[in-house]
Amino acid sequence: MASEKARKVEIARLQKEKEDANSRLTEATIKYMTAEKKVDRLKSQTLAKIERQAMFQSNAGAENNKDGGNCDAQSAKDQEINAKVAEGNVADAEQARKEAQAIASKQKEELQQLQADNTRLSEQVTTFTIKVFF
């Protein structure tokens, strides 16, 4: 009788641990999904900035061609400035993207660990349940 009561207590403890692991798993999954969304947004923003810069440069190049050759020195200077600005924006966006990917990677590892814990606890609950009933 005492061993059966001890097993019931152990089952209750394992079920509580399983519920805790499930809640941590859910939280980690949400964090991971959020980080993935941030990475996607950063990629989209970076791409939009690059497209805007390319359109600006192509429009500026077309206007310079209409004006003739007297603005070649000015257009070269503008292109150099635009390139520096674009490199700075791309570098910042790339850094933010790398940070978001690192966070997502860490959360993915945590998620995998929680899934392993959840599996282990489920197996223990099953084992103790079987022992109680048989």
pLDDT at 84: 59
pLDDT at 117: 87
Tell me, what amino acid is at 37? Answer: K
Q: Domain range spanning residue 77? A: 2-133
**pLDDT (tens digit per residue) in 65-104:** 555 544 455 566 556 655 655 566 667 767 777 887 888 8
Find out whether 3 and 128 touch, Cβ atoms under 8 Å.
no
- The sign one gets for the Cα dihedral 8, 9, 12, 14 is negative
Specify the residue for token string 């489920």. Answer: 122
44 vs 56: CA distance, rounded Å: 18
**What is the CATH number for 10?**
1.10.287
What is the value of pTM for the model shown? 0.46
Total of domains in the chain: 1
Three-state DSSP state, 68: coil
Specify the residue for token string 């923003």. Answer: 45
Tell me, what amino acid is at 123? Answer: E
Nearest to 83 by CA among 116, 102, 56, 47: 56
